[in-house]
Amino acid sequence: MNDTIVAISTALGEGAISIIRISGCDAISIVNPLFKGKNLEKVKSHTINYGHIVYKNEIIDEVLLSIMKKPKTYTKEDVIEINTHGSIAVVNKIMEILLLSGCRLAEPGEFTKRAFLNGRIDLTESEGVKDLINSQTELERKMAVNELSGKVSTLITDLRDKIVALISNIEVNIDYPEYQDIEVVTIDKIKAEVYNMLGQLRKILKLSEDGKVIKDGIKTVILGKPNVGKSSLLNALLEEEKAIVTDIKGTTRDIVEGSIIIGGIKLNLIDTAGVRASSDVVEKIGIEKSISLIDEAELVLLVLDSSEELSSEDKFLLDKTKNKKRIVIMNKNDLENKNLYDEEVIRISAKENIGIEEIKEKIKELFNIGVFLGKNLTFFTNARQIALLKSAIESLEEAKKGAEENKEIDMIEIDLKLAWERLGDIIGANYTEELIDNLFSKFCLGK
């Protein structure tokens, strides 16, 4: 942490400008001799300064240099950002000079890691930075900003404070039972507090699990018997002739994948081999794959053929997917209707591109996308946070059980402490070197 780090913060390549970022206690003393312009030791903090980078009497580039003196900076250290012309040659040359002058090349995410280690942000906020940089959809952006803004941290901190208050009350009662003026923690009070916290955490968990599915992309399996138009539907959704379409039953043998963004969320679409009894070895393997994908699917688009009567394969698939999140689609609506299936369906013609928008609307409804685009939701978006949340809930459930069964109060206290620790792990209150290294290594260089 004592060395001064440097990295290129903009994407490498030709562009109007590139930014080289430097952070650490020697940032100013390293850059000052290389900068021909105002004396950086003397300029005010948070100013932009015009000048040149000069090395061994040679002008390397004309630059704008931002100087931000600690502690009000991204890393809480002295930070300098050099805006250079966006040429690979310029950037490489300035990097080389800075490395020769005493800077060390930053590791991926090291600036944010310093922000965390110096206490400016906590772990969930750090993850928010990464998520924001990686965000591709409007929804991902919203979720990341929520994380980054510290809402998640505040929520966890409040809950931890509540648990601490409860624990200290319990301890005072155990240690000084003779004190008259101290509030007595009754089992009823513990129960009420724990119920309350559990309710809050369970709600967040539900929201977080839905949110994670949406963030990672909804695994959507297009299913149906042969020739109903599954591949045609995939192509219509993707607006691209990705899968082969023919009138021969069993055209698709292996899965075909593609992804689209609907209302700010990503759908990972999988077109499968049509399900039927088949003696063809290759087709059979494909069919087995189609069926096994049902379990993994987060959404099933089950396609029926309007121009044919409901068959035993259709019935088999309708039954197999009855407990899944699914949309039943009646395709070939442009032909004469001979299919008497009378449950809720969306009628489309994949061939004529009719009804595709309705499918998209239904998906938005099924996944409550409107709710996630709402502003004031607080929830967790990655597997690490969700796993810890679950474990905190388990400990609170144990505490609740203990209270209900009138267990020794210090047994209940142990579970409360465990819940407090797990919640602390979410924000990085007690972190290990390994966890931190692993987490920040997933960041991009220069962040």
28-52 as b/e, with b when 16 or more CB fall inside 10 Å?
bebbbebbebbebeebeeeeebebe
The span of 97-105, 239-247, 337-345, 373-381 binding ligand GTP (CB under 6 A) equals 239-247
Among 36, 72, 249, 442, binds ligand GTP (CB under 6 A): 249
Nearer to Mg ion, 152 or 303 (CB): 303
The span of 64-72, 112-120, 249-257, 391-399 binding ligand GTP (CB under 6 A) equals 249-257
Given a contact cutoff of 8 angstroms between Cβ atoms, the answer to whether 228 and 303 are in contact is yes
Q: At closest approach, how far in Å is the CB of 341 from Mg ion?
A: 21
Distances (CA, A) of 261 to 127, 130, 197, 223, 299: 23, 21, 36, 20, 15
Nearer to ligand GTP, 173 or 268 (CB): 268
The span of 166-174, 177-185, 226-234, 371-379 binding ligand GTP (CB under 6 A) equals 226-234
Note whether 227 binds Mg ion by CB under 5 A: no
Distances (CA, A) of 221 to 165, 236, 331: 49, 15, 16
Note whether 245 binds ligand GTP by CB under 6 A: yes
Q: With contacts defined by CB under 6 A, how many residues of the chain interact with ligand GTP?
A: 24
Paired tokens of 199 = 């309710």
Backbone angles phi, psi at 258, to 5 degrees: -170, 160
Q: DSSP assignment of 260-273, as one string?
A: EEETTEEEEEEE-P
Taking alpha carbons only, the member of 34, 42, 30 closest to residue 60 is: 34
Among 24, 109, 211, 274, binds ligand GTP (CB under 6 A): 274
Note whether 231 binds Mg ion by CB under 5 A: yes
Nearer to ligand GTP, 211 or 274 (CB): 274
Note whether 332 binds ligand GTP by CB under 6 A: yes
Q: With contacts defined by CB under 5 A, how many residues of the chain interact with Mg ion?
A: 4
Paired tokens of 37 = 């312009």
Residue with structure tokens 């990341």? 144
Among 24, 109, 211, 229, binds ligand GTP (CB under 6 A): 229
What is the rounded CA–CA span in Å between residue 38 and residue 237? 58
Nearer to ligand GTP, 188 or 336 (CB): 336
Residue 327, contacted partner among ligand GTP, Mg ion, none, CB below 5-8 A by kind: none
Q: DSSP assignment of 304-363, as one string?
A: EETTS---HHHHHHHHHTTTS-EEEEEE-TTSPP-----SS-EE-BTTTTBSHHHHHHHH
Contacts of 435 (CB under 8 A, 6+ apart): none
Q: How many other CB atoms sit within 10 Å of the CB of residue 112? A: 25
Note whether 252 binds Mg ion by CB under 5 A: yes
The span of 5-13, 73-81, 250-258, 310-318 binding ligand GTP (CB under 6 A) equals 250-258
Nearer to Mg ion, 221 or 419 (CB): 221
Residue 247, contacted partner among ligand GTP, Mg ion, none, CB below 5-8 A by kind: ligand GTP
What is the rounded CA–CA span in Å between residue 92 and residue 258? 38
Residue 344, contacted partner among Mg ion, ligand GTP, none, CB below 5-8 A by kind: none
Taking alpha carbons only, the member of 407, 412, 410, 404 closest to residue 188 is: 404
Note whether 334 binds ligand GTP by CB under 6 A: yes
Q: In a 10 Å sphere around its CB, with 0-12 CB exposed, 13-18 middle and 19+ buried, how is residue 145 labelled?
A: middle
Nearer to ligand GTP, 68 or 228 (CB): 228
* Peptide bond between residue 108 and the one before it cis (omega within 30 degrees of 0): no
What is the rounded CA–CA span in Å between residue 6 and residue 445? 10
Residue 249, contacted partner among ligand GTP, Mg ion, none, CB below 5-8 A by kind: ligand GTP
Note whether 251 binds ligand GTP by CB under 6 A: yes
Among 178, 181, 188, 247, binds ligand GTP (CB under 6 A): 247
Closest residue to ligand GTP, judged by C-beta, is 274
Note whether 336 binds ligand GTP by CB under 6 A: no
Q: At closest approach, how far in Å is the CB of 253 from ligand GTP?
A: 8
Nearer to ligand GTP, 51 or 250 (CB): 250
Note whether 224 binds ligand GTP by CB under 6 A: yes
Site residues (vs Mg ion, CB under 5 A): 230-231, 251-252
Site residues (vs ligand GTP, CB under 6 A): 224, 226-232, 245-247, 249-252, 273-274, 331-332, 334-335, 349-351
